[in-house]
Amino acid sequence: MTNKNKGLVVLVGAGPGDMGLLTLSGKQWLQKADVVLYDHLVNPDMIRFTQKSAEMIYVGKKEGVASMEQEQINNLLINKAREEKIVVRLKGGDPFIFGRGGEEIQAIQAVGIPFIIVPGVTSVTGVAAYAGIPLTHRHLSSTLSIITGSNEKNQGDIHIDWEKIASRSGTLVFLMGARKLPLIVEKLIKFGKSPDTPIAVVQWGTTARQKTWTGTLGTIVEISAEDKILPPALTIIGEVVNLKSKIEWYEHLPLFGKTVVVTRKGDQADSMIDRLRELGAEPFFFPVIETIAPDDWSPLDNALNNLSQYDGLIFTSVNGVRFFAERLKTIEQDIRELKGARVYTIGPKTAEAVRDLGIRVDVVPENFIAESLIESIGNAEGKRFLIPRATVARETLPEQLRKMGALVDVAPAYKTVLPSQSVDALEKRLKEGSVDVITFTSSSTVTNFLTLTGEQLLPAIKNTKIACIGPITAKTARDAGLNVEIMPEQYTVSSLMDAIEIFYQ
Protein backbone atom coordinates (compact mmCIF):
# COMPACT_ATOMS: atom_id res chain seq x y z
CA MET A 1 0.00 0.00 0.00
CA THR A 2 2.89 2.34 0.70
CA ASN A 3 4.70 1.48 -2.54
CA LYS A 4 5.83 4.83 -3.91
CA ASN A 5 5.49 3.64 -7.51
CA LYS A 6 1.73 3.22 -7.19
CA GLY A 7 0.92 6.68 -5.88
CA LEU A 8 -0.62 7.27 -2.49
CA VAL A 9 -2.68 9.93 -0.73
CA VAL A 10 -2.10 10.46 3.00
CA LEU A 11 -4.65 12.58 4.84
CA VAL A 12 -2.83 14.14 7.81
CA GLY A 13 -4.30 16.16 10.66
CA ALA A 14 -1.83 18.96 11.49
CA GLY A 15 -3.36 19.84 14.85
CA PRO A 16 -4.72 23.23 15.91
CA GLY A 17 -1.55 25.34 15.58
CA ASP A 18 1.23 24.42 17.99
CA MET A 19 3.74 22.44 15.93
CA GLY A 20 4.31 20.13 18.89
CA LEU A 21 0.78 18.81 18.47
CA LEU A 22 1.56 17.27 15.08
CA THR A 23 1.62 13.50 15.57
CA LEU A 24 4.79 11.46 15.02
CA SER A 25 3.04 9.63 12.20
CA GLY A 26 2.10 12.93 10.57
CA LYS A 27 5.71 14.13 10.73
CA GLN A 28 6.99 10.87 9.23
CA TRP A 29 4.63 11.18 6.26
CA LEU A 30 5.65 14.80 5.69
CA GLN A 31 9.26 13.61 5.51
CA LYS A 32 8.31 11.11 2.79
CA ALA A 33 5.97 13.34 0.79
CA ASP A 34 6.57 14.26 -2.85
CA VAL A 35 3.65 16.70 -2.81
CA VAL A 36 1.96 18.52 0.10
CA LEU A 37 -1.40 20.27 -0.15
CA TYR A 38 -1.84 22.44 2.93
CA ASP A 39 -4.49 24.75 4.41
CA HIS A 40 -4.43 28.29 5.78
CA LEU A 41 -4.52 27.19 9.44
CA VAL A 42 -1.57 24.81 9.15
CA ASN A 43 1.51 26.01 11.06
CA PRO A 44 3.95 26.97 8.25
CA ASP A 45 6.90 25.74 10.34
CA MET A 46 5.76 22.18 9.63
CA ILE A 47 7.01 22.66 6.09
CA ARG A 48 10.57 22.24 7.40
CA PHE A 49 9.87 18.55 7.93
CA THR A 50 9.47 18.04 4.17
CA GLN A 51 12.11 17.14 1.62
CA LYS A 52 13.64 20.06 -0.26
CA SER A 53 12.30 18.56 -3.47
CA ALA A 54 8.70 18.33 -2.21
CA GLU A 55 6.13 20.35 -4.13
CA MET A 56 4.17 22.62 -1.78
CA ILE A 57 0.65 23.65 -2.83
CA TYR A 58 -1.37 26.14 -0.78
CA VAL A 59 -5.10 25.50 -1.10
CA GLY A 60 -6.46 28.23 1.20
CA LYS A 61 -9.43 27.26 3.36
CA LYS A 62 -9.40 30.57 5.22
CA GLU A 63 -12.76 31.35 6.82
CA GLY A 64 -14.57 34.16 5.06
CA VAL A 65 -12.09 34.29 2.14
CA ALA A 66 -12.52 32.69 -1.28
CA SER A 67 -10.12 29.79 -1.77
CA MET A 68 -9.65 26.79 -4.02
CA GLU A 69 -12.93 24.93 -4.56
CA GLN A 70 -13.23 21.54 -2.92
CA GLU A 71 -13.61 19.80 -6.29
CA GLN A 72 -10.35 21.40 -7.45
CA ILE A 73 -8.58 20.09 -4.34
CA ASN A 74 -9.98 16.60 -4.93
CA ASN A 75 -8.79 16.65 -8.55
CA LEU A 76 -5.33 17.84 -7.50
CA LEU A 77 -5.00 14.96 -5.05
CA ILE A 78 -6.05 12.47 -7.70
CA ASN A 79 -3.84 13.87 -10.47
CA LYS A 80 -0.73 14.10 -8.30
CA ALA A 81 -1.24 10.55 -7.01
CA ARG A 82 -1.63 9.34 -10.60
CA GLU A 83 1.87 10.69 -11.23
CA GLU A 84 3.00 7.89 -8.86
CA LYS A 85 3.73 10.30 -6.00
CA ILE A 86 3.18 10.25 -2.26
CA VAL A 87 0.70 13.07 -1.74
CA VAL A 88 0.13 14.43 1.76
CA ARG A 89 -3.06 16.38 2.34
CA LEU A 90 -2.22 18.45 5.43
CA LYS A 91 -5.28 19.84 7.19
CA GLY A 92 -5.60 21.92 10.35
CA GLY A 93 -6.93 20.14 13.44
CA ASP A 94 -8.38 16.72 12.71
CA PRO A 95 -9.49 16.15 9.10
CA PHE A 96 -12.64 14.26 10.16
CA ILE A 97 -13.93 16.99 12.52
CA PHE A 98 -15.55 19.55 10.20
CA GLY A 99 -12.51 19.28 7.96
CA ARG A 100 -14.21 17.76 4.89
CA GLY A 101 -11.70 14.95 5.09
CA GLY A 102 -14.46 12.43 4.49
CA GLU A 103 -15.36 14.09 1.19
CA GLU A 104 -11.75 14.07 0.00
CA ILE A 105 -11.26 10.41 0.86
CA GLN A 106 -14.52 9.51 -0.90
CA ALA A 107 -13.21 11.17 -4.05
CA ILE A 108 -9.87 9.32 -3.76
CA GLN A 109 -11.53 5.99 -3.04
CA ALA A 110 -13.92 6.36 -5.98
CA VAL A 111 -11.05 6.30 -8.49
CA GLY A 112 -9.17 3.48 -6.78
CA ILE A 113 -6.19 5.39 -5.38
CA PRO A 114 -4.70 3.95 -2.15
CA PHE A 115 -4.98 6.18 0.90
CA ILE A 116 -3.94 6.40 4.56
CA ILE A 117 -5.59 8.49 7.27
CA VAL A 118 -3.53 10.06 10.07
CA PRO A 119 -5.83 11.71 12.63
CA GLY A 120 -4.80 14.94 14.29
CA VAL A 121 -5.37 16.74 17.58
CA THR A 122 -8.65 18.51 16.95
CA SER A 123 -8.97 22.19 17.82
CA VAL A 124 -11.87 21.20 20.08
CA THR A 125 -9.62 19.46 22.59
CA GLY A 126 -6.32 21.20 21.82
CA VAL A 127 -7.53 24.79 22.08
CA ALA A 128 -9.64 24.08 25.16
CA ALA A 129 -6.67 22.48 26.93
CA TYR A 130 -4.36 25.41 26.11
CA ALA A 131 -7.05 27.79 27.37
CA GLY A 132 -7.26 25.86 30.64
CA ILE A 133 -10.86 24.73 30.14
CA PRO A 134 -11.70 21.03 30.67
CA LEU A 135 -14.53 20.20 28.30
CA THR A 136 -15.96 17.60 30.66
CA HIS A 137 -15.92 17.51 34.44
CA ARG A 138 -17.46 14.99 36.81
CA HIS A 139 -19.38 17.66 38.74
CA LEU A 140 -20.15 20.11 35.92
CA SER A 141 -20.52 18.44 32.53
CA SER A 142 -20.90 14.84 31.43
CA THR A 143 -21.73 15.52 27.76
CA LEU A 144 -20.00 17.37 24.96
CA SER A 145 -21.57 18.68 21.76
CA ILE A 146 -19.43 19.86 18.84
CA ILE A 147 -21.20 22.15 16.39
CA THR A 148 -20.07 24.02 13.28
CA GLY A 149 -20.55 27.75 13.45
CA SER A 150 -19.90 28.36 9.76
CA ASN A 151 -22.16 28.12 6.76
CA GLU A 152 -20.46 27.24 3.51
CA LYS A 153 -23.52 28.27 1.46
CA ASN A 154 -23.40 31.83 2.85
CA GLN A 155 -27.00 31.74 3.95
CA GLY A 156 -27.99 33.86 6.94
CA ASP A 157 -28.88 30.98 9.24
CA ILE A 158 -26.96 27.87 10.25
CA HIS A 159 -28.82 24.60 9.77
CA ILE A 160 -28.95 23.55 13.43
CA ASP A 161 -31.79 22.28 15.59
CA TRP A 162 -31.37 25.13 18.05
CA GLU A 163 -34.10 23.92 20.38
CA LYS A 164 -32.36 20.60 20.97
CA ILE A 165 -28.91 22.18 21.25
CA ALA A 166 -30.10 24.81 23.74
CA SER A 167 -31.71 22.15 25.95
CA ARG A 168 -28.45 20.25 26.45
CA SER A 169 -26.95 20.65 29.90
CA GLY A 170 -23.34 19.75 29.02
CA THR A 171 -20.62 21.67 27.21
CA LEU A 172 -21.24 23.17 23.78
CA VAL A 173 -18.31 23.87 21.46
CA PHE A 174 -18.78 25.90 18.28
CA LEU A 175 -16.03 25.70 15.68
CA MET A 176 -15.51 28.52 13.18
CA GLY A 177 -18.24 30.61 14.77
CA ALA A 178 -16.60 34.00 15.37
CA ARG A 179 -18.54 35.76 12.63
CA LYS A 180 -21.82 34.14 13.66
CA LEU A 181 -21.41 34.73 17.41
CA PRO A 182 -24.40 37.16 17.69
CA LEU A 183 -26.63 34.65 15.87
CA ILE A 184 -25.45 31.74 18.02
CA VAL A 185 -26.10 33.67 21.25
CA GLU A 186 -29.48 34.91 20.04
CA LYS A 187 -30.69 31.40 19.12
CA LEU A 188 -29.46 29.75 22.33
CA ILE A 189 -31.16 32.34 24.56
CA LYS A 190 -34.32 32.26 22.42
CA PHE A 191 -34.65 28.50 22.96
CA GLY A 192 -34.10 28.57 26.71
CA LYS A 193 -30.38 28.82 27.48
CA SER A 194 -29.84 31.13 30.46
CA PRO A 195 -28.18 34.49 29.64
CA ASP A 196 -25.95 33.81 32.67
CA THR A 197 -24.40 30.72 31.05
CA PRO A 198 -20.57 31.10 31.04
CA ILE A 199 -18.88 31.40 27.64
CA ALA A 200 -15.29 31.64 26.40
CA VAL A 201 -14.05 32.60 22.95
CA VAL A 202 -10.47 31.53 22.20
CA GLN A 203 -8.68 33.07 19.22
CA TRP A 204 -5.57 31.53 17.63
CA GLY A 205 -5.60 28.79 20.25
CA THR A 206 -2.37 26.82 20.99
CA THR A 207 -0.21 29.54 19.38
CA ALA A 208 1.67 32.45 20.94
CA ARG A 209 -1.09 34.69 19.54
CA GLN A 210 -3.72 32.94 21.68
CA LYS A 211 -6.22 35.29 23.29
CA THR A 212 -9.25 34.37 25.38
CA TRP A 213 -12.38 36.38 26.13
CA THR A 214 -14.76 35.17 28.84
CA GLY A 215 -18.23 36.33 29.79
CA THR A 216 -21.80 35.07 29.64
CA LEU A 217 -24.29 34.61 26.84
CA GLY A 218 -25.73 37.94 27.95
CA THR A 219 -22.44 39.87 27.71
CA ILE A 220 -20.25 38.20 25.08
CA VAL A 221 -21.75 39.91 22.02
CA GLU A 222 -20.95 43.35 23.41
CA ILE A 223 -17.44 42.17 24.34
CA SER A 224 -16.95 40.75 20.86
CA ALA A 225 -18.09 43.95 19.16
CA GLU A 226 -15.86 46.08 21.34
CA ASP A 227 -12.71 43.95 20.87
CA LYS A 228 -13.51 42.97 17.27
CA ILE A 229 -13.05 39.21 17.74
CA LEU A 230 -12.13 37.67 14.39
CA PRO A 231 -11.46 34.12 13.12
CA PRO A 232 -9.94 31.71 13.78
CA ALA A 233 -11.77 31.32 17.07
CA LEU A 234 -13.34 28.52 19.10
CA THR A 235 -16.36 29.13 21.33
CA ILE A 236 -16.93 27.10 24.52
CA ILE A 237 -20.25 27.38 26.37
CA GLY A 238 -21.01 25.82 29.74
CA GLU A 239 -20.16 25.77 33.45
CA VAL A 240 -16.69 24.33 32.74
CA VAL A 241 -15.62 27.79 31.53
CA ASN A 242 -15.57 28.92 35.18
CA LEU A 243 -12.61 26.57 35.80
CA LYS A 244 -10.35 28.55 33.48
CA SER A 245 -9.08 30.92 36.17
CA LYS A 246 -7.86 27.96 38.23
CA ILE A 247 -6.42 25.81 35.44
CA GLU A 248 -5.08 28.24 32.81
CA TRP A 249 -1.35 27.67 32.23
CA TYR A 250 -0.31 28.40 28.67
CA GLU A 251 -0.93 32.14 28.83
CA HIS A 252 1.24 32.32 31.98
CA LEU A 253 4.38 30.86 30.38
CA PRO A 254 7.34 33.30 30.56
CA LEU A 255 7.55 34.04 26.83
CA PHE A 256 3.86 33.67 26.01
CA GLY A 257 2.81 36.00 23.22
CA LYS A 258 6.36 36.62 21.99
CA THR A 259 7.42 35.81 18.43
CA VAL A 260 11.10 34.90 18.14
CA VAL A 261 12.84 34.55 14.77
CA VAL A 262 15.22 31.57 14.58
CA THR A 263 17.91 32.06 11.93
CA ARG A 264 19.92 28.86 12.49
CA LYS A 265 20.17 26.33 9.70
CA GLY A 266 17.44 23.71 9.56
CA ASP A 267 19.12 20.69 11.15
CA GLN A 268 20.50 22.77 14.03
CA ALA A 269 17.37 24.77 14.85
CA ASP A 270 15.40 22.06 16.66
CA SER A 271 16.82 22.69 20.14
CA MET A 272 16.05 26.41 19.90
CA ILE A 273 12.56 25.87 18.53
CA ASP A 274 11.70 23.27 21.17
CA ARG A 275 12.94 25.49 24.00
CA LEU A 276 11.03 28.52 22.72
CA ARG A 277 7.84 26.49 22.53
CA GLU A 278 8.35 25.28 26.10
CA LEU A 279 8.60 28.91 27.18
CA GLY A 280 5.37 29.80 25.36
CA ALA A 281 6.91 31.74 22.48
CA GLU A 282 6.07 31.39 18.82
CA PRO A 283 9.27 30.36 16.99
CA PHE A 284 9.43 31.86 13.49
CA PHE A 285 11.78 29.63 11.53
CA PHE A 286 13.80 31.63 9.00
CA PRO A 287 17.10 29.81 8.29
CA VAL A 288 19.68 32.07 6.67
CA ILE A 289 22.50 29.57 6.27
CA GLU A 290 22.90 26.41 4.27
CA THR A 291 26.08 24.34 4.48
CA ILE A 292 27.41 22.53 1.42
CA ALA A 293 30.62 20.85 0.35
CA PRO A 294 33.61 23.11 -0.40
CA ASP A 295 34.55 23.82 -4.01
CA ASP A 296 37.80 21.91 -3.56
CA TRP A 297 38.32 18.91 -1.28
CA SER A 298 42.05 18.58 -1.94
CA PRO A 299 43.35 20.64 1.06
CA LEU A 300 41.25 18.58 3.50
CA ASP A 301 42.00 15.30 1.72
CA ASN A 302 45.73 16.01 1.86
CA ALA A 303 45.45 16.72 5.61
CA LEU A 304 43.37 13.58 6.25
CA ASN A 305 45.90 11.45 4.40
CA ASN A 306 48.63 12.80 6.69
CA LEU A 307 46.90 12.95 10.05
CA SER A 308 49.89 11.55 11.91
CA GLN A 309 51.90 14.75 11.26
CA TYR A 310 49.61 16.90 13.44
CA ASP A 311 50.13 17.77 17.10
CA GLY A 312 46.68 19.32 17.43
CA LEU A 313 43.27 19.15 15.75
CA ILE A 314 40.99 22.16 16.27
CA PHE A 315 37.23 22.10 15.64
CA THR A 316 35.42 25.45 15.76
CA SER A 317 31.88 24.26 14.94
CA VAL A 318 29.57 21.27 14.80
CA ASN A 319 29.50 21.59 11.00
CA GLY A 320 33.28 21.28 10.89
CA VAL A 321 33.08 18.05 12.87
CA ARG A 322 30.31 16.63 10.67
CA PHE A 323 31.98 17.35 7.33
CA PHE A 324 35.38 16.21 8.67
CA ALA A 325 33.90 12.86 9.72
CA GLU A 326 31.97 12.38 6.47
CA ARG A 327 35.04 13.14 4.34
CA LEU A 328 37.22 10.84 6.44
CA LYS A 329 34.78 8.02 5.70
CA THR A 330 34.52 8.90 2.01
CA ILE A 331 38.27 8.66 1.38
CA GLU A 332 38.49 5.58 3.64
CA GLN A 333 41.03 7.11 6.01
CA ASP A 334 41.52 6.04 9.63
CA ILE A 335 41.02 8.45 12.56
CA ARG A 336 43.53 6.39 14.55
CA GLU A 337 46.28 8.10 12.54
CA LEU A 338 45.84 11.07 14.87
CA LYS A 339 47.62 9.02 17.56
CA GLY A 340 48.97 11.45 20.17
CA ALA A 341 47.45 14.64 18.75
CA ARG A 342 45.46 16.81 21.16
CA VAL A 343 41.88 17.69 20.18
CA TYR A 344 40.55 21.19 20.88
CA THR A 345 36.99 22.43 20.40
CA ILE A 346 35.21 25.74 20.74
CA GLY A 347 31.94 25.27 22.63
CA PRO A 348 30.27 22.32 24.38
CA LYS A 349 28.10 21.35 21.39
CA THR A 350 31.19 21.03 19.19
CA ALA A 351 32.85 18.95 21.91
CA GLU A 352 29.77 16.73 22.12
CA ALA A 353 29.84 16.16 18.34
CA VAL A 354 33.50 15.11 18.55
CA ARG A 355 32.85 12.74 21.43
CA ASP A 356 29.99 11.18 19.45
CA LEU A 357 32.65 10.09 16.95
CA GLY A 358 34.45 8.25 19.75
CA ILE A 359 37.23 10.85 19.93
CA ARG A 360 38.42 12.27 23.22
CA VAL A 361 38.37 16.07 23.55
CA ASP A 362 41.38 17.43 25.43
CA VAL A 363 40.48 21.12 25.74
CA VAL A 364 37.23 23.12 25.70
CA PRO A 365 38.01 26.76 26.63
CA GLU A 366 36.03 28.50 29.34
CA ASN A 367 34.78 31.16 26.92
CA PHE A 368 33.57 29.76 23.63
CA ILE A 369 35.52 32.03 21.30
CA ALA A 370 38.81 31.72 19.40
CA GLU A 371 40.64 34.11 21.71
CA SER A 372 39.92 31.92 24.74
CA LEU A 373 41.07 28.79 22.90
CA ILE A 374 44.42 30.42 22.09
CA GLU A 375 44.98 31.01 25.81
CA SER A 376 44.14 27.35 26.52
CA ILE A 377 46.66 26.01 23.99
CA GLY A 378 49.64 27.59 25.75
CA ASN A 379 53.03 26.94 24.14
CA ALA A 380 52.51 26.36 20.41
CA GLU A 381 56.08 26.86 19.22
CA GLY A 382 56.96 24.37 16.46
CA LYS A 383 53.68 22.48 16.75
CA ARG A 384 51.46 21.68 13.77
CA PHE A 385 47.70 22.21 13.91
CA LEU A 386 44.85 21.26 11.57
CA ILE A 387 41.69 23.41 11.52
CA PRO A 388 38.84 21.91 9.42
CA ARG A 389 36.35 24.78 9.09
CA ALA A 390 34.18 26.86 6.78
CA THR A 391 35.72 28.24 3.59
CA VAL A 392 35.18 31.78 4.89
CA ALA A 393 35.71 32.33 8.62
CA ARG A 394 37.47 34.61 11.11
CA GLU A 395 41.25 34.47 10.72
CA THR A 396 41.97 35.30 14.38
CA LEU A 397 42.75 31.73 15.41
CA PRO A 398 45.21 30.69 12.65
CA GLU A 399 46.89 34.11 12.62
CA GLN A 400 47.51 34.12 16.38
CA LEU A 401 48.79 30.55 16.36
CA ARG A 402 51.25 31.40 13.60
CA LYS A 403 52.46 34.40 15.61
CA MET A 404 53.07 31.96 18.46
CA GLY A 405 55.38 29.93 16.20
CA ALA A 406 52.92 27.20 15.20
CA LEU A 407 52.40 25.65 11.77
CA VAL A 408 48.72 25.85 10.85
CA ASP A 409 46.84 24.11 8.05
CA VAL A 410 43.39 25.58 7.46
CA ALA A 411 41.38 23.04 5.45
CA PRO A 412 37.97 24.05 4.07
CA ALA A 413 35.54 21.30 5.15
CA TYR A 414 32.37 23.08 4.06
CA LYS A 415 31.08 26.41 2.87
CA THR A 416 28.03 28.38 3.87
CA VAL A 417 25.64 29.76 1.28
CA LEU A 418 22.40 31.70 1.27
CA PRO A 419 19.36 29.39 1.17
CA SER A 420 16.71 30.12 -1.42
CA GLN A 421 13.56 31.06 0.45
CA SER A 422 10.73 33.55 0.43
CA VAL A 423 10.91 36.60 2.68
CA ASP A 424 7.21 37.44 2.25
CA ALA A 425 5.89 35.99 5.54
CA LEU A 426 8.70 37.53 7.58
CA GLU A 427 8.32 40.87 5.81
CA LYS A 428 4.63 40.94 6.67
CA ARG A 429 5.28 40.18 10.35
CA LEU A 430 8.09 42.75 10.62
CA LYS A 431 6.03 45.50 9.00
CA GLU A 432 3.03 44.85 11.25
CA GLY A 433 5.33 44.86 14.29
CA SER A 434 4.48 41.32 15.40
CA VAL A 435 8.10 40.09 15.68
CA ASP A 436 9.56 40.57 19.16
CA VAL A 437 13.08 39.13 18.93
CA ILE A 438 15.48 38.12 16.16
CA THR A 439 18.17 35.65 17.23
CA PHE A 440 21.65 35.37 15.73
CA THR A 441 24.08 32.56 16.56
CA SER A 442 27.03 33.64 14.40
CA SER A 443 28.27 36.63 12.45
CA SER A 444 27.32 34.91 9.20
CA THR A 445 23.69 34.62 10.34
CA VAL A 446 23.64 38.41 10.79
CA THR A 447 25.19 39.08 7.40
CA ASN A 448 23.01 36.59 5.55
CA PHE A 449 19.83 37.73 7.29
CA LEU A 450 20.41 41.34 6.22
CA THR A 451 21.27 40.20 2.69
CA LEU A 452 18.05 38.20 2.40
CA THR A 453 15.78 40.86 3.92
CA GLY A 454 17.28 43.81 2.04
CA GLU A 455 17.49 47.50 2.82
CA GLN A 456 13.72 48.07 2.68
CA LEU A 457 13.21 46.04 5.87
CA LEU A 458 16.17 47.51 7.77
CA PRO A 459 14.07 50.16 9.62
CA ALA A 460 11.68 47.46 10.91
CA ILE A 461 14.58 45.20 11.90
CA LYS A 462 16.26 48.08 13.79
CA ASN A 463 13.06 48.51 15.82
CA THR A 464 13.09 44.81 16.81
CA LYS A 465 15.02 43.42 19.78
CA ILE A 466 18.15 41.56 18.75
CA ALA A 467 19.57 38.59 20.69
CA CYS A 468 23.13 37.47 19.91
CA ILE A 469 24.93 34.37 21.13
CA GLY A 470 28.19 36.17 21.96
CA PRO A 471 30.34 39.31 21.58
CA ILE A 472 31.68 38.57 18.09
CA THR A 473 28.16 38.10 16.70
CA ALA A 474 26.94 41.13 18.66
CA LYS A 475 29.70 43.32 17.18
CA THR A 476 28.71 42.28 13.66
CA ALA A 477 25.08 43.14 14.42
CA ARG A 478 25.94 46.50 16.01
CA ASP A 479 28.25 47.40 13.13
CA ALA A 480 25.24 46.85 10.86
CA GLY A 481 23.22 49.32 12.94
CA LEU A 482 21.16 46.77 14.87
CA ASN A 483 20.11 47.25 18.49
CA VAL A 484 21.56 44.28 20.41
CA GLU A 485 19.75 44.11 23.75
CA ILE A 486 20.17 40.45 24.70
CA MET A 487 23.40 38.46 25.07
CA PRO A 488 24.18 35.61 27.49
CA GLU A 489 27.23 35.34 29.72
CA GLN A 490 27.98 31.89 28.31
CA TYR A 491 28.06 31.74 24.53
CA THR A 492 25.73 28.77 23.96
CA VAL A 493 22.30 28.37 22.43
CA SER A 494 20.89 27.18 25.75
CA SER A 495 22.23 30.27 27.52
CA LEU A 496 20.85 32.48 24.76
CA MET A 497 17.38 31.07 25.39
CA ASP A 498 17.81 31.68 29.12
CA ALA A 499 18.88 35.27 28.43
CA ILE A 500 15.74 35.94 26.38
CA GLU A 501 13.59 34.52 29.21
CA ILE A 502 15.37 36.66 31.82
CA PHE A 503 15.07 39.77 29.64
CA TYR A 504 11.28 39.50 29.54
CA GLN A 505 10.94 38.53 33.18
Q: Which helix (H) or strand (E) holds 477?
A: helix 471-479
Query: Distances in Å between the alpha carbon of 100 and those of 10, 93, 267?
Result: 14, 11, 34
Name the catalytic one among 46, 61, 91, 349. Answer: 61
Q: What pTM was estimated for this model as a whole?
A: 0.80
- Residue 183 identity: L
Query: Distances in Å between the alpha carbon of 294 and those of 160, 268, 332, 392, 473?
Result: 64, 20, 19, 10, 23
Q: What dihedral do alpha carbons 298, 300, 306, 308 form, nearest 10°?
A: 180
Name the catalytic one among 19, 46, 94, 176. Answer: 176
**CB hemisphere CA count around 456 (13 angstroms):** 7
Q: At what angle do helices 424-431 and 443-453 cross, to 10 degrees?
A: 90
Catalytic annotation on 176?
yes
CATH of the domain spanning 125-252: 3.30.950.10
Name the catalytic one among 39, 45, 94, 436. Answer: 39
What's the pLDDT at 460? 93
Q: At what angle do helices 70-82 and 101-110 cross, to 10 degrees?
A: 40
pLDDT block averages, 10 residues each, the chain of length 505? 69 94 97 95 88 91 68 94 96 93 95 96 97 95 90 60 92 92 95 97 93 97 94 96 96 95 86 93 92 94 93 92 94 82 89 91 76 81 94 87 93 91 90 94 93 92 95 95 94 93 94
What's the pLDDT at 416? 87
Q: Can 259-289+419-504 and 293-417 be said to share one CATH topology? A: yes
Q: How far apart are CA 373 and CA 359, in angstroms?
A: 19
Give the CATH architecture of domain 4-121: 3-Layer(aba) Sandwich (3.40)
Q: Where are the domains of the chain?
A: 4-121, 125-252, 259-289+419-504, 293-417
What's the pLDDT at 47? 86
Q: What is the pLDDT of residues 335-353, one digit of tens each?
A: 777 778 899 998 888 999 9
What's the pLDDT at 3? 45
Query: Distances in Å between the alpha carbon of 59 and those of 87, 91, 231, 428?
Result: 14, 10, 18, 20
Catalytic annotation on 39?
yes
Catalytic annotation on 56?
no
Question: Strand 233-237 to strand 171-175: parallel, antiparallel, or no bridges (unpaired)?
Answer: antiparallel
CATH level 3 topology of 259-289+419-504: Rossmann fold (3.40.50)
Which positions ≥6 away from 164 have C-beta within 8 Å? none
Q: What is the pLDDT of residues 145-179, one digit of tens each?
A: 999 887 655 555 567 899 999 999 899 999 988 88
What's the pLDDT at 1? 44
CATH of the domain spanning 293-417: 3.40.50.10090
